[in-house]
Structure 1
Amino acid sequence: MNAVRQPVPGIAAPRSADARRLGRLAIASLHAELACTPKPGLVTPFSRGSHSDMDAGTFLRSLFALRGYFVAIAQAGSNDAPFESLRSLGIAAEAAMLRATGGINTHRGAIFSLGLLVAQSARLRASGELPPSGDAVCRGVTQWRAALLDAPLNPASPGQRVRRRHAVPGVREQAAAGYPLLRDLALPTLQRVLHTTAHAEAAQVETLMTLIAHTVDLNLLHRGGDAGLAFAQGQARRFLAEGGIQQADWRERVAAIGQAFEQRRLSPGGSADLLACTWFLHLQERA
């Protein structure tokens, strides 16, 4: 009789093909968000945006450090692991990100939201739903609603300080509600523009501007207060009302908005995280 192979301490168990595929899609989605340009106030391969402490290289180092995390959380999702296991993976991933970037927060929001969506996509696939819709993945996150709302928060983080000061919901509440911003607004916008234009970057920019227009972005509140958030939302809404990417000079218009953001040091980082999540939801529907 062959002996049962025991796991070797300190060596990670093999990951399934689905987990590896979803992990690659998560990194590809974060890379697509970085590469998309123009993006008001945000880091691109050609600009630091409103940031003096990071550039595209900082983001690439972070992405390299996070590769294993998204595979691991996909595997945990396919194993129907409890929320606390997912949270522990996220905490370790954040530490890896900070080591890779010298303490700079490039992807904290994405570690949380994209990690949950990757885990839920993997869980649904393991239960036989191939491939799950983006809507199903978002709604599936509500299975962790109670644990999400009970999980401790870091009171020292800029996002949590802003959240308390302005008494506004954050991404945790979005997750607990099944990400209505993603399923009802961002993903339909992305897929509509892709269908009508077949232009990925235009679809991403339209989706980003839609998110900025409707999201209570804690990064904007942190950098600009209520006035900064209102300014950013107003600029995005005006761009969309005037035709969005249907305007022949849409790139120039977004670049001009970017200059105005940079003058005010505004950066819609929360919306950028949600853009990456939206792109992942789209990709995983086709994987």
Structure 2
Amino acid sequence: MSAATALRIQSATCEAAFIARCAVEALRLELDTYPKPGLVSLVDSGSHDDMDAATFKASAAALEPYFCELAEAGARGLGMDGLRRIGLAAEAAMLAATGGVNTHRGAIFGLGLLASAAGALGAGVSSIRPGALGAHVARTHAQGILNGPVLLHAPGARARRRHGVGGAPAEAAAGFPTVYRIGLPALRHRLALRPDDPEAARVEACFALIAATEDTNLLHRGGPDGLAFARRAAAAFLARGGVGQPDWRQAAESAHRDFVARRLSPGGAADLLAMTVFVARHEHAGRPRALPLGHAGTGPSGKPASC
């Protein structure tokens, strides 16, 4: 093997490792964010009795090598069938780490596709143009996503069939429009106004995503009425100024309590928030390490999120 070839292999491996750490960092920052209505955080378990912050941390740690595989697969141009095999292995690792609890199935799908796109576009070493990750997923994998196998017994799949919504597959096949049109603008707007408080920016993005998304997790738990309630509550928080209102934290905590009382959990919005953080990290004017998204930036091994 020539020195140049060895260097290229080492560089590709380094890029994939960095992309994987960014994916896990996005999951950890989503967990760190509070208040998020009905969702698990470091503060409490939201509307869930079967999982807590420790469950999420164990799951995120178990997924890092699979995000690395997905980034490497993207760099090799692997098709949707190959990515799906890695995703299923990641799901098995998640279930083993959590004792059978589904913490991150939706994130494995969406964030996994974005990690693959990041590997394909070389996003581990430099920033890429806005919209590139989602556009790559739509251009390369849309048909494979929409024509793929249906998980008949998964709650999200049942909700999609029962209520006639597109859910995560439609979002991914279209290039993640909710991330780009809703999540990123909300996150970046608040980061620009309050660069010293990235958690507040993530809370704003979370509420914006809840207000805009036909979340199959909400449909599964609360039906159309539960979804409508959640979207109205999130929209009302934003209409009052979001995290720009003086008592925003109390208002967000009040919404959180209302969701918990109704056992509502917008898990789809949580997945989209993690994807938003990941995309913001890479589609940024400067090296992907530069954007101030928060401070959960050490990998499960304790190494900094760099290569």
TM-score between both structures, scaled by the size of structure 1:
0.93
Aligned-pair distance for 1:133?
A: 3.2
* Rounded Cα–Cα distance in structure 1 between residues aligned with 2:271 and 2:30: 8
Aligned-pair distance for 1:266?
A: 0.2
* Rounded Cα–Cα distance in structure 2 between residues aligned with 1:114 and 1:204: 17
Q: Secondary structure at the match of 1:267?
A: coil
One-letter amino acid of the structure 2 residue matched with residue 208 of structure 1: C
Look up the match of 1:56.
53
Look up the match of 2:239.
241
One-letter amino acid of the structure 2 residue matched with residue 284 of structure 1: H
| Number of positions where the alignment pairs a residue of Structure 1 with one of Structure 2 | 276
Look up the match of 2:32.
35
Q: 2:263 aligns with which of 265, 271, 280?
A: 265
Is the 1:134–1:282 contact (alpha carbons within 8 Å) kept by the matching residues of 2?
no
CA displacement 1:200-239 (0-9 Å, x = unmatched): 1011000000000000001101110000000000000001
Aligned-pair distance for 1:134?
A: 4.5
CA displacement 1:105-147 (0-9 Å, x = unmatched): 0000000000001110111128x99421341111111121111
Is the 2:67–2:115 contact (alpha carbons within 8 Å) kept by the matching residues of 1?
yes
For residues 179-258 of structure 1, the aligned pairs below 5 Å read 179-198=176-195, 199-258=197-256
Query: Is 1:22 matched up with 2:19?
Result: yes
One-letter amino acid of the structure 2 residue matched with residue 93 of structure 1: A
For residues 59-78 of structure 1, the aligned pairs below 5 Å read 59-78=56-75
Is the 1:22–1:284 contact (alpha carbons within 8 Å) kept by the matching residues of 2?
no
Aligned-pair distance for 1:259?
A: 0.5
Structure 1, unpaired ranges of 5+: 3-12
* Rounded Cα–Cα distance in structure 1 between residues aligned with 2:126 and 2:246: 39
Q: Secondary structure at the match of 1:265?
A: coil
1:228–1:124 CA distance, 2 compared to 1 (3 A): same
* Rounded Cα–Cα distance in structure 2 between residues aligned with 1:276 and 1:133: 19
Please, what is the CA RMSD of the aligned residues?
A: 1.8
TM-score between both structures, scaled by the size of structure 2:
0.87
Q: 1:136 aligns with which of 132, 135, 140?
A: 132
One-letter amino acid of the structure 2 residue matched with residue 135 of structure 1: G
One-letter amino acid of the structure 2 residue matched with residue 38 of structure 1: P
One-letter amino acid of the structure 1 residue matched with residue 101 of structure 2: I
Percent identity (aligned): 47
Q: Moved runs in structure 1, 4+ residues, more than 3 A?
A: none
* Rounded Cα–Cα distance in structure 1 between residues aligned with 2:207 and 2:141: 29
Q: Secondary structure at the match of 2:208?
A: helix
* Rounded Cα–Cα distance in structure 1 between residues aligned with 2:130 and 2:40: 26
* Rounded Cα–Cα distance in structure 1 between residues aligned with 2:47 and 2:65: 29
* Rounded Cα–Cα distance in structure 2 between residues aligned with 1:193 and 1:78: 33
Q: Secondary structure at the match of 2:143?
A: helix
Look up the match of 1:164.
161
One-letter amino acid of the structure 2 residue matched with residue 232 of structure 1: A
